[in-house]
């Protein structure tokens, strides 16, 4: 089983408080023995990766995430890697100012991998280092963004990005082997600076938006001590993940067979596939 998470925020110094809210409201209490995990994030216009191909014990993924100072981040967690995974194949993947991860398998992908590679521009093919379907779909997605003008000089165009991701999913569907007409069952998260897009065609994913943040000015000094509260009314963030168990808080289950994005103005929009 594989889970994804994505996060964007306006102030990374407040991320630990947002993550603690996620932990209390929706994160599963039972520790999951992830076999491998990875994070990709943007920091000062650079894309960075941190990958853990082999975990020997349960890992606090939210704790790892809270230690990363980033305004846009994607996480990928694999519970079963069938004995191991090469670090080149471990997600997330990055290209220029984008980070991408997906969950789910594409049936018989090897039968049409070469065809999809042939349709991919050479400058993108040179960016492929592993052998996974996810890496190739990421670069097909980037290609479609370039083709439809998503990456405008004055900023990302949200609806165009969604259309590019929809075309990527339709392309994968078209390439499926004859007789295999089932749903892809993929979930995808991609981020760039101040923008996150999510596609859900598989298991449930939940989104929480943050508008403002309050936290104590210090740790309680003694029983009954109530520290002063600090408010950050301008803080904005959005957290999305699969495998959550929301018990409280303002969580939204994303529509299936749809693409949802959070734009630089912190508006959430959805487009059906």
Which residues form the domain of 61? 2-272
Question: Residue 10's closest CA among 269, 218, 271, 262?
Answer: 262
CATH for 186: 3.60.20.10
Please answer whether residues 213 and 269 qualify as being in contact, where contact means their C-beta atoms are separated by less than 8 angstroms. Answer: no
State percent of the chain over pLDDT 70.
89
Note the pLDDT tens digit of each residue in 163-206. Answer: 999 999 998 887 665 555 556 789 999 999 889 999 999 999 99
Distance CA 26, CA 93 (A): 26
Q: Is the pTM of this model over 0.85?
A: yes
The pLDDT tens digits for 216-233 are 876 766 666 677 888 999
Q: Which residue has the higher pLDDT, 36 or 267?
A: 267
> What's the chain's average pLDDT?
87
Of the candidates 72, 76, 70, 31, which has an alpha carbon nearest to the alpha carbon of residue 52? Answer: 76
Whether pLDDT at 214 is above 70: yes
Structure confidence at residue 225 (pLDDT): 63
Domain count, the chain: 1
């Amino acid at each position: 089983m594989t889970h994804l998470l994505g996060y964007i925020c306006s102030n990374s110094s407040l991320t630990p408080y947002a993550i603690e809210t996620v932990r209390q409201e929706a994160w599963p209490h039972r520790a999951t023995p992830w076999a491998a995990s990875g994070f990709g994030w943007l920091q000062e216009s650079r894309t960075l990766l941190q990958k853990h191909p082999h975990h020997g014990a349960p890992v606090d993924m939210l704790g790892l995430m809270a230690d990363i100072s980033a305004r846009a981040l994607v996480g990928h967690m694999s519970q079963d890697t069938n004995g191991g995974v090469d670090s080149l194949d471990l997600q997330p993947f990055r290209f220029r100012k984008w980070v991408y991860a997906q969950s789910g398998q594409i049936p018989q992908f090897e039968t049409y991998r070469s065809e999809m590679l042939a349709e991919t521009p050479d400058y993108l093919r040179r960016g492929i280092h592993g052998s996974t379907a996810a890496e190739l779909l990421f670069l097909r997605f980037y290609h479609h963004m370039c083709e439809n003008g998503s990456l405008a000089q004055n900023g990302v165009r949200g609806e165009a990005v969604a259309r590019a991701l929809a075309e990527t999913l339709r392309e994968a569907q078209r390439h499926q082997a004859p007789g295999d007409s089932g749903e892809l069952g993929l979930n995808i998260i991609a981020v760039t600076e101040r923008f996150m897009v999510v596609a859900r065609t598989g298991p449930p994913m939940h989104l929480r938006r943050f508008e403002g943040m309050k936290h104590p000015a210090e740790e309680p000094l003694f029983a009954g001590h109530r520290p002063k509260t600090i408010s950050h009314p301008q803080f904005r963030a959005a957290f999305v993940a699969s495998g959550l168990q929301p018990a409280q808080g303002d969580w939204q289950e994303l529509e299936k067979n749809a693409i949802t994005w959070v734009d630089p103005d912190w508006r959430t929009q959805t487009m059906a596939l």
